[in-house]
Structure 1
C-alpha cells in the first residue's frame, strides 16, 4: 500500500517537473479512427525515463471504448523483469479533440479516489495502426508504442528516427525489456 502511494506521488511530481527538453508547438499530424485506435493493447517500446517508471519493463496500455469520446485506460508494467510483479494504474479518459481524436485526457485513479490528470497527444501513427508516437503537450515526455509486444530492432529504428524528425532528443529515450 505504501509503495503504491509512493509511486503515485512520484507520478504527480513527474507531471509537474520541468526539464531541458524543448517545448514544441507540435500538434497531432494525423486523424485517428477512434474505434480502431482506442481499442485493445498497445505495448510500450520506448519512453523518456521518469521516476515513476524506474524498474518498469514489459509495459503497455490497454484502451477500452466506453461510448462516444469516453475511453477506459489501464497502464501496466512488470517490476524489474518481464516475469516480475504486475503494476497497474488506470482511470477514465476522454478524447478532447473529436474529429481528429488524437488528444486524450486521462484521469488516473489511485486508491479509487486520488485523481492524477494527464494529457497525451498522438503525434504520428502508422497507416495500418501498428505503431504510434505520443507526447505530453509540453513535449517533455515521449513514448513509442506498437501493437507487437516484441518488435525487432529493424522495426524500432525507423520509429526512433521519426521521433527525432519531430524534434525530440532521442538520446533521452530508454528502451525497457519487452514482454511476450
Structure 2
C-alpha cells in the first residue's frame, strides 16, 4: 500500500511539474487595449460553437477601471449572436492577467474565466490571449486579417507556451451585407 501511495504521489508531482506557468506580457495599457478586435484564430470552445464567421470583441473601459465586453459572431444562418460581459484586472497595475464573466444574476457574477495576455504587439495591433490550463486561446487583431508571418509568429508563441496549436480554428472574416 505504501508503494502505491508513493507511486501515486510521484506521478502527481511529475504531472504538475510538467505544466509550465503561463508567461504573460509585462504591461497592458487598458486605454490602448480598449476598442474593437477581430478574431483571427481560436482554440475550439463550447461558448463559440455556433460561431462560423465575423467574430469580434469590443472592449470599453469603464470609469471604475473594469471593462465592458461585447462579443459578436455570425452563426451558420447568417444571424449575429452577441454576449455581453465584464472583465477586470487581477494584477493591477500590470493588467496582463484579466478575468472575464458573461454570467450575471441580479448583479452578481459568480463565475469568472482567466483571460491572460501572453503576447501583445507594441502598437496594440494584435494580441495573443490564453489561460493557464491551455484550454482556451485567441489571436485577435485590429484588422480583419493579419499577414501570414504575423500569424506564424503568434502560433509559435502559443506552441512555445504548450497550447495545442494543431486544434486552432481560423476565423472567416467576410464583408457584411
Does residue 79 (structure 1) correspond to residue 75 (structure 2)? The answer is: yes
Superposition TM-score, scaled by structure 2 size: 0.77
Choose the corresponding residue for 2:57, options 51, 58, 61: 61
1:27 to 8, 18, 23: 23
Deviation at 1:111, TM superposition (A): 8.6
CA gap 1:68/1:27 in 2 versus in 1, 3 angstroms: farther
Of 58-67 and 107-116, deviating more is 107-116
Q: After the TM superposition, which residues 1-180 of structure 1 pair with which residues of structure 2 at under 5 Å, given as runs?
A: 23-37=19-33, 39-56=34-51, 57-80=53-76, 84-109=78-103, 115=109, 116-180=111-175
Please list every run of 5 or more consecutive structure 1 residues that lacks an aligned counterpart in the other structure: 1-21
Distance 1:65 1:47, change over 3 A: same
Deviation at 1:45, TM superposition (A): 0.8
SS in 1 for 2:117: strand
Higher normalized strand content (fraction of residues): 1
Check whether the contact 2:69–2:84 (CA below 8 A) recurs between aligned residues. yes
For the pair shown, the structure with the greater C-alpha radius of gyration is: 2
Q: Distance in 2 between matches of 1:123 and 1:170?
A: 15
Q: Secondary structure at the match of 1:67?
A: coil
Number of residues paired by the alignment?
156
Report the Cα offset of residue 161 of structure 1: 1.9
- Aligned mates of 1:174, 1:26 — CA distance in 2: 21
- Across the aligned residues of Structure 1 and Structure 2, the Cα RMSD in angstroms comes to 2.3
Note if contact 1:23-1:139 (Cα within 8 Å) is conserved in structure 2: no
